[in-house]
Amino acid sequence: MTINELFKAFTDIEFQANRLMKIKNFDDGHLQQFDIRSEEIRLEVLKLDLSDEMNEEFRNLGRIDCEYSPEIKFGHTLLNILSFGFYKKRYISRKRETYFIGEINHRKKLFLHTKHQLKDT
């Protein structure tokens, strides 16, 4: 991948992140597409070997778990029984949304920082 293609990939991933954050509809297709694109960029940035800190950050950056489901503990089960099943649905959807927003936002910031660092060099 050339530098121009990498900058286009940064723009693409930023657009996808903004779209996902606005619609907050985390369906598997869009999340997988975002995850695949971010993995491609991650591998290309690792090949560039910009700095030790960035390389470490990109090595530790894992894939997005598109099938993420939060752990249900005893207290949550009890509240679910008392609310006739409404609590569990709401709890799972909030935790999934928090997880996906956090992962997308972290990648977006990391890629923007990398993009600006590449522009400076």
**Angle at Cα 120 formed by Cα 116 and Cα 121, nearest 5°?**
120
Are 92 and 69 contacting, i.e. CB atoms less than 8 angstroms apart? yes
Residue that the structure tokens 């694109």 belong to: 37
Give the C-alpha separation, 15 to 11, whole Å.
6
94: in domain: no
What is the domain extent for residue 46?
3-69+101-120
Dump pLDDT digits (tens) for 1-22.
Answer: 788 899 999 999 999 999 998 8
Per-residue pLDDT, 13: 94
State how many domains the chain has. 1
What is the pTM (predicted TM-score) of this model?
0.86
Residue 95 has pLDDT above 80, yes or no: yes
Give the C-alpha separation, 50 to 119, whole Å.
12
105: in domain: yes
84: in domain: no
76: in domain: no
Mean pLDDT of 37-56: 90
Please, where are the H alpha helices in 24-85? 28-48, 52-60, 74-82
31: in domain: yes
Per-residue pLDDT, 118: 87
35: in domain: yes
79: in domain: no
Give the C-alpha separation, 54 to 64, whole Å.
19
11: in domain: yes
